[in-house]
Amino acid sequence: MKIEDYRKLQKIVIDYYERAHIVLTDKEKENIEVSDFGLNDIYRTGLQLVIYVNTERVCSKEMVLLPHQTCPEHRHPSVNSKPGKEETFRCRYGKVYLYVEGESTENRKAAPPAGDEKYYTVFHEIELNPGEQYTIKPDTLHWFVGGEEGAVVSEFSTKSTDETDIFTDTRINRITEIES
């Protein structure tokens, strides 16, 4: 991703945080992470976030999904005999559709990105509106999509080790490569 595109997206994300009445410091604004998952199609598949804290025991993040933007299917496995990440998503603004293991929901309100359907396998839909939350247990396959207006989602979890996440789509690269 080109640095100018990265910076442009950071500005868009700041506007989402403001809509959700989330106040960030200047340093947090500078450190907003933009992830295109190595697919170079950020408006279809991507995620933007700021990490408040990530210690050996807890993690707290604010995530932004643009309208219809998908965070691809993945799970948080056990690492070095420690259980995978358990995370609670709480919607702050907009709407997010979360898909987890379980009975498939008929008439789902969102779908995987066109052409990438083969990388999505779980379809039990959880719709989260502002103030609603859902907890995802460790090692549970899940993916999520921003609604019509996009979404701001707070994540509260055990330690985050994003680099160990296992994605269904083997093309995924969790760390965004930035070109100057």
Q: 150 with 64: CB under 8 angstroms?
A: yes
* Run means of pLDDT, 10 residues per run, the chain, 180 residues: 94 98 97 96 97 96 98 95 95 98 97 97 98 97 98 96 92 85
Residue 173 lies in a domain: no
Residue type, 93: Y
Q: 150 with 65: CB under 8 angstroms?
A: yes
Please count the structural domains in the chain.
Answer: 1
CATH classification of the domain holding 37: 2.60.120.10
Decide: pTM greater than 0.85: yes
